[in-house]
């Protein structure tokens, strides 16, 4: 689940590559750290023996911080950007401005020229404006 969230965040943050480019790297590094931490927990316990309660709690806390950073850094940055921008009308657009791709996409239709197909579910549900 962490890996899927990181992949979706990376895809969505890639839409505006010039807006805080270091944020994509932060999301990937924190996500990889969280995934490795989750996978390594059992292996580490088998190699070193049972972990003390204090060590296990500290490790779980570190993994939780990495997972939360990876999962919430992109949405938090988009939220701050949206709140800091003056909007007119009923529906504000979220995040930084991105260049629009050409070619409309209808119900079940093919994408027009210049439209990238996203493989991420979140990118399909929340398309770029």
Which tens digit of pLDDT belongs to each residue from 8-50?
A: 888 888 888 788 889 999 999 999 999 998 888 777 777 777 7
> Which residues 6+ apart lie within 8 Å of 126 measured at CB?
12
What would you report as the CA-atom Rg of the chain, rounded to the nearest whole angstrom? 19
The pTM of the full predicted model, rounded to 2 decimals, is 0.63
The answer to whether residue 99 scores a pLDDT higher than 70 is: no
The answer to whether residue 53 scores a pLDDT higher than 80 is: yes
Q: Could you state, in order of their start, the residue ranges of all structural domains in the chain?
A: 2-97
- Report the phi/psi class of residue 20: left, alpha or beta, with left for phi > 0 and alpha for psi in -120 to 50: left
What percent of the chain lies above the pLDDT cut of 70?
71
Neighbours of 93 (CB within 10 A): 13
Neighbours of 59 (CB within 10 A): 16
The CA-to-CA distance between both ends of the chain, in Å, stands at 26
């Amino acid at each position: 689940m962490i890996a899927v969230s990181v992949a979706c965040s990376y895809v969505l943050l890639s839409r505006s590559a010039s807006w805080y480019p270091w944020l994509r790297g932060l999301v990937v590094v924190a996500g990889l750290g969280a995934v490795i931490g989750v996978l390594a927990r059992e292996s580490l316990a088998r190699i070193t023996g049972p972990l003390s309660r204090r060590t296990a709690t500290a490790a779980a806390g570190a993994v939780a911080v990495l997972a939360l950073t990876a999962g919430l850094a992109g949405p938090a940055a988009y939220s701050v950007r949206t709140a800091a921008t003056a909007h007119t009308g009923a529906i504000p657009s979220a995040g930084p401005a991105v260049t629009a791709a050409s070619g409309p996409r209808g119900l079940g239709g093919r994408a027009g020229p210049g439209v990238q197909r996203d493989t991420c579910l979140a990118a399909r549900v929340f398309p770029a404006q």
